[in-house]
Amino acid sequence: MPKIPTFKAEGTITAEAATTPINVQAPLSIAKTFEPIQKAVTDYAVKEKVIQDKTEALKLENDSILELNTAVQKASKLMNKEKANQFLKNESTRIRTKYSNLASSSGVKRIFETNYLMEEQKQIFKVDNAVYKNIVQNHFNEKSRKYEMLMTEGLYGNNPLQEKELYNDLVKLENEDLVQDEDTRLNNIAMIPNKIAYFKAKRDSVNDPVQTYTDISTNNEKYKDLNLETREALLKELKLEASQILKEDMTNYIVGLENGIAVDINKEAIKEVYGNKAYTDFLETEQNTIRVG
């Protein structure tokens, strides 16, 4: 029989499985993988918080400003700047404290107070301007009142000294007016003589418009300070009344001559009111009446 070859095993059989090394790279960490997502979530949360805080702060600001406006309106009616500022400061502090305490967090409180203080400064400036306007208007009113008193006493007070000092009193009134600028002051002072003469003419025309018209038209000394514009305005204003009175006087004068009764007549006024022709005609009528009588 053929011989079966035999094989001698030289290896050793063991219970452990053979290990084969595998060269595979390890994956990124989970934290690193989700880092962009986490950042986006965090940024969104921060933005959401900022919006929430600013919205709450804005509501507090709007509500507080409505209340502050009421205080501003009251302060704006005052005539004293220090009192107005003190009133507004006290009210503003109270309002700021009230709405700061309503804030849900320190962040909201900080945003609110920053914005409120900026608005407060605007309102203080607004009140300062309003009060200054009040002061100026009040000064104008009191100056006008003083002017009326001086004019009335000087021209109608039957006080020669008061009338004599009227110009100086009015100049003093203008010099004490610190609101007006220098050009306005000088112009007002320059106009004082014209104003005094104007009101003298108005006063005199009440008693005798005919003679007043004549004196103005002939540049009588007591009306010498009237400027051209004022003079013409007065003559135009007085002419109608003077002509009506003078017409009646002329009729009465001629009737008086016819009846032997002496009647006063302002002959010079006839010439000034009606002109030279009317004056000549009147004299002719007078002479004819005298001859007939």
Query: Alpha helix locations (H) across the chain?
Result: 30-33, 35-75, 81-100, 106-156, 160-164, 166-175, 182-207, 209-217, 228-258, 267-274, 276-292
> Cβ contacts of residue 88 below 8 Å, gap of 6+?
71, 72, 75, 123, 124, 127
Q: Tell me the pLDDT tens digit for each residue of 250-273.
A: 999 999 999 989 899 999 999 999
The overall pTM is greater than 0.85: no
Q: Tell me the pLDDT tens digit for each residue of 173-220.
A: 999 999 999 999 999 999 999 999 999 999 999 999 999 999 999 988
> Cβ contacts of residue 253 below 8 Å, gap of 6+?
263, 264, 265, 286
Query: From CA 199, how far away is CA 166, in angstroms rounded?
Result: 12
Q: Tell me the pLDDT tens digit for each residue of 60-86.
A: 999 999 999 999 999 999 999 999 999
Query: From CA 9, how far away is CA 153, in angstroms rounded?
Result: 152
Query: From CA 97, how far away is CA 187, in angstroms rounded?
Result: 53
